[in-house]
Structure 1
């Protein structure tokens, strides 16, 4: 389990490696001339540790980078250090998933047990967080709910990513909270599924055994040359998947699940039918 670097750190590390290789310097030679250890250079190029703007400038000078490129990389380094909105919830969010999600242009998510976090209503989220984190005080619970609702703002606006969510029918039928809560949650789902950047599909119980039985996961995609990142969560921590073959496996699993799901239109009809089966307030 590793903490994944943010998109900007990944981009910076990849570019520094490319420039070093272009200058025909081995990692050992470059590290020695920069006054770094070989492991430090490796961690910087693989975005495992942060780097200062002055260190980036020194590397650019060693690699013979032109002024314009040097200025761009130094600025990229500064941008990578900028604190995002999620930093205000550092007591809630761990790891780097929210930073990655915020910069993603597309999110593909599979959820076999719950309504996906990005699509949860406030009262549904409160019940789920209360059940999974019973040790939280009321103030802490409020903080967690507030953080989750703030996260949903990323789905709004011209820069919002596309979200393709696959949800197991079980998640729709599982009663959560007081009477009427699930009916209201499913009504929210129907409204959100009409947004232009949202695609919601349901995997029916009739599909039987499927490739997603091992648990929930997400695949995040980004602009430019940044590779996709996979993510899964378990009680002991977050797991970020960055190896190309493993990300491809998640992507293929998602596509197989998508093929087994109902169409968006039939999914909406099923959600409406299940909504009517839940107790109304």
Structure 2
């Protein structure tokens, strides 16, 4: 392990140290790894891996650690920071904006956005773009992608608005059953009170975002940043004129898109065609 990953600023290492410290300093008596594992309904080997920085942090454990040790969200925060740090540098600011957001507006012309992807869908997507990736690399990508979804389950989740081109429903780069489960996950997400999913019909007019996915992320201070991704690049735009134009374009998309109810009906119809 290089010197950089040994620094205490590394959130993955800090998570490990905080876990070990909380266990050893537990009141009224220190807990062994086996005892903590029983409280968390996991295995001793999992706790050992957590405390020695081996592998990804299982996303269900941080909130349980916060509950056992009454740490008021500390382990959840460290987990989110560890996930963000695992992304390439050019994506890290986006991850930070996402974690603090009060609203996230997503447009995608081709794929289900990462926040709403299932593990299998994400796996096929990654393997398609990186066919020589190892099993370990693929698992790391999928774990990181799924971990991002934790922000939807927080105490104060952001409002999430998603507009997808209808072509997303018909794209079949994965087996039908996997795509069916992904569409079911879309329906489930759209049933949340903080998530709205709309489908933009194929015959809709051309628009500014037609060629690429765009995310509009709004901070607690109601400042919006525009995130645009292309091949091996990602940009964040804060220029007020560009942001204003992007927000106006997104509003037009939601106006041209089917309603949430009509969109859910279309998604369900496509699911049936995949059975």
- Which TM class, normalised by the smaller chain length? 0.5 to 0.7
Q: Deviations over 1:38-64 (max 9, x none)?
A: xxxxxxxxxxxxxxxxxxxxxxxxxxx
Matched pairs, number: 197
**Aligned residue number for residue 256 of structure 1:** 252
Q: Deviations over 1:64-107 (max 9, x none)?
A: xxxxxxxxxxxxxxxxxx96623356343433111110100000
In structure 2, list runs of 5 or more residues that go unmatched: 1-76
**Aligned residue number for residue 47 of structure 1:** none
Q: Deviations over 1:147-203 (max 9, x none)?
A: 000000101122110100000110011113223111111111111110000000000
What SS is found at the alignment partner of 2:151? Answer: helix
Counterparts of residues 89-108 of structure 1 (less than 5 Å): 90-95=85-90, 96-108=93-105
What SS is found at the alignment partner of 2:141? Answer: helix
Given that residues 207 and 249 in structure 2 are in contact (C-alpha distance below 8 angstroms), is that contact kept between their aligned partners in structure 1? no
Q: Does 1:241 align with 2:242?
A: no
TM-score, with structure 1 as normaliser: 0.66
**Aligned residue number for residue 197 of structure 1:** 194
Higher relative contact order (CA 8 A, sep 6+): 1
Residue in structure 2 matching 1:110, options 99, 107, 110: 107
Given that residues 187 and 264 in structure 2 are in contact (C-alpha distance below 8 angstroms), is that contact kept between their aligned partners in structure 1? yes
Residue in structure 1 matching 2:203, options 184, 201, 206: 206
Aligned mates of 1:263, 1:104 — CA distance in 2: 24
Aligned mates of 1:100, 1:114 — CA distance in 2: 21
Given that residues 226 and 243 in structure 2 are in contact (C-alpha distance below 8 angstroms), is that contact kept between their aligned partners in structure 1? yes
Point out the structure with max Rg over C-alpha: 1
Q: Does 1:268 align with 2:257?
A: no
CA drift of 1:208 comes to 4.7
Cα RMSD of the aligned pairs, angstroms, is 1.7
Given that residues 211 and 257 in structure 1 are in contact (C-alpha distance below 8 angstroms), is that contact kept between their aligned partners in structure 2? no
Given that residues 211 and 256 in structure 1 are in contact (C-alpha distance below 8 angstroms), is that contact kept between their aligned partners in structure 2? no
Counterparts of residues 118-197 of structure 1 (less than 5 Å): 118-197=115-194
Q: Write out the 4+ residue segments of structure 1 that deviate beyond 6 Å after TM superposition.
A: none
**Aligned residue number for residue 41 of structure 1:** none
TM-score, with structure 2 as normaliser: 0.68
Q: Deviations over 1:119-163 (max 9, x none)?
A: 111100111111122332110110010000000010112211010
Aligned mates of 2:160, 2:240 — CA distance in 1: 21
